[in-house]
Every structure is written in C-alpha cells, then in structure tokens.
C-alpha cells in the first residue's frame, strides 16, 4: 500500500468502472492527464471533474505526486503483463506486429506517462527508480520475445544489434508523442498510426519475409 494515501477495503486499480470516490478520482485524473499533460492539470480541476471538493481530494490524495504514483502503479502491473505475453507462434508473420500492437494500446491508454518527456519523474521523483526498474524488466521480457522470433527464423539479427534495436524501438515508442506534440497541441488517432508505422519500420530491415520452412 502506498504511503500518503487512504486505504480502502476493496482492491483493484480502480481505473475501469469507478466504484467509489478514489476510483472516480483516478479515472478522471487519467482522462485529464492524457488530454492535457500531467503538468497542465490542477488539483482543482481534478476535484471538479470528480464531482468532489478540493478538501476531499486532499483526503484521498494528500499530494498530487501520490495521484501520479497510483496511476503509474496501475500501469506497472499492466506493462509487465503485456511485455511478457509470448506469441503462441513466434514464426507467424503477424506475431511481432501483434506484440507491438499490445504495447501501443497500453501506451495510448496511459499516454500521460509518455507525452511530456520527463514531466512524470519531475512531478513524482519517487518514481524515477521504478521507471528505471520497470524498463529493465519489460525490455528483458521483450528481448525474450524477439529472441524467440530469431530462433524461429522470423528475424535475422546479431545479439548485440538486437539490444540496440530494442533500445531504439523503446525510444521511438515512448517519444513519438512528444515529437508530434511539438507541432500541435493534441494527439489524434492519426498520430498513433504514424507512431506505429515508425516503430514497425525499425524492424523492417531485419524481418525475414520468406517462411524458412
């Protein structure tokens, strides 16, 4: 249980289907943060969107950083699930694309974490080591998936080059939003598709198109 937050009897991350005030706050926060960025949403707005007063928001989340930490905790759980989802058939042409799609869906739902560069760790510095650790764990899981694709003959790449490719895919996956937001003020489905195509393109030179069987 996180420090500085009220404890509740029931579990769940409370982001889908809000069942109480705390859950409602988290759901509304995520929506506002996704739309405008972590640094451009005030606690007053979150309270208003949640249908409560600021004092009550303070009761549930004494600090804005605690709110961000709670959202990150929910993301953390989902990220590890998505990263560890090994394709049934790593040789299938659509396997890696489906894996990437899983990541993009998750990132899109929690895009507030990614849209403003390092804003999250500046608002909630306690998250810095957790961000680092989560990246290490999920990248290791992703590497396992790509190595399976190499063994299945679907991907042709040397082990050290694979490490750099994964790092580049990580950077583009995580920062295409910032890149697009420098020119406009909001993200659309078209931006999402653009980002997906950019990441796909990173893998293109290493994909083996002909089935090796």
Partner DNA sequence: GTCTATATATAGATAGAC
Partner DNA sequence: GTCTATCTATATATAGAC
Tell me how far apart the alpha carbons of residues 42 and 48 are, in angstroms, rounded to a whole number.
10
Nearest-approach distance from CB 174 to its own copies, in angstroms: 7
Compute CA distances 99 → 50, 83, 90, 95, 128, whole Å.
Answer: 34, 8, 10, 6, 26
Nearest-approach distance from CB 193 to DNA, in angstroms: 32
Instruction: Determine how many CB atoms are found less than 10 A away from the CB of residue 65.
Output: 18
Residue 166 zone, left/alpha/beta (φ > 0; ψ -120 to 50; rest): alpha
Tell me how far apart the alpha carbons of residues 29 and 31 are, in angstroms, rounded to a whole number.
5
Task: Specify the residue for token string 């949403």.
Answer: 41
SS3 assignment, position 155: strand
Instruction: Pick the binder of DNA from 2, 16, 19, 58 (CB under 7 A).
Output: 58
Q: Answer yes or no whether residue 71 interacts with DNA by CB under 7 A.
A: no
Structure tokens, 127? 């998250």
Residues 96-125 that bind its own copies (CB under 8 A): 115-119, 121-122
Instruction: Pick the binder of its own copies from 4, 19, 98, 132 (CB under 8 A).
Output: 132
Nearest-approach distance from CB 189 to its own copies, in angstroms: 18
Query: Looking at beta carbons only, is 52 or 106 nearer to DNA?
Result: 52
Q: Which of 38-46, 76-84, 169-177, 200-208 is the region at the interface with DNA (rule: CB under 7 A)? A: 38-46
Nearest-approach distance from CB 28 to DNA, in angstroms: 13
Widest pairwise Cα distance in the chain: 65
C-alpha triplet 174, 177, 181: angle, nearest 5°: 150
Q: Answer yes or no whether residue 171 interacts with its own copies by CB under 8 A.
A: yes
Instruction: Pick the binder of DNA from 28, 29, 34, 65 (CB under 7 A).
Output: 65
Residue 46 near residue 25 (C-beta atoms within 8 A):
yes
Quote the radius of gyration of the chain (alpha carbons, Å): 19
Q: x/- binding map, residues 63-102, to its own copies, per CB under 8 A?
A: ----------------------------------------
Using CB under 8 A, list all residues that contact its own copies. Answer: 37, 39-40, 115-119, 121-122, 128, 131-132, 135, 161, 164-165, 167-168, 170-172, 174-176, 178-179, 181-185, 197-198, 201-202, 204-206
Using CB under 7 A, list all residues that contact DNA. Answer: 6, 8, 21, 42-44, 52-56, 58-60, 62-65
């Amino acid at each position: 249980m996180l420090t500085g937050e009220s404890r509740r009897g029931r579990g769940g991350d409370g982001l889908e289907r809000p069942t109480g005030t705390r859950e409602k706050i988290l759901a509304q926060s995520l929506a506002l943060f996704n739309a405008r960025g972590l640094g451009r949403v005030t606690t007053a707005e979150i309270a208003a969107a949640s249908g409560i007063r600021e004092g009550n928001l303070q009761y549930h989340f004494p600090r804005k950083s605690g709110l961000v930490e709670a959202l990150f905790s929910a993301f953390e759980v989902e990220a590890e699930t998505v990263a560890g989802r090994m394709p049934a058939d790593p040789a299938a042409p659509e396997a890696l694309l489906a894996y990437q799609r899983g990541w993009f869906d998750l990132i899109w739902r929690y895009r507030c974490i990614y849209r403003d560069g390092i804003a999250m760790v500046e608002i909630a510095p306690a998250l810095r080591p957790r961000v680092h650790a989560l990246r290490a764990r999920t990248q290791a899981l992703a590497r396992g998936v790509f190595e399976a694709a190499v063994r299945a003959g679907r991907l042709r790449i040397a082990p050290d080059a694979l490490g750099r490719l994964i790092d580049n895919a990580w950077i583009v996956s995580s920062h295409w939003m910032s890149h697009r937001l420098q020119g406009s003020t909001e993200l659309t489905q078209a931006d999402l598709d653009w980002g997906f195509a950019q990441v796909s393109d990173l893998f293109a030179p290493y994909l083996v198109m002909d089935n090796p069987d």
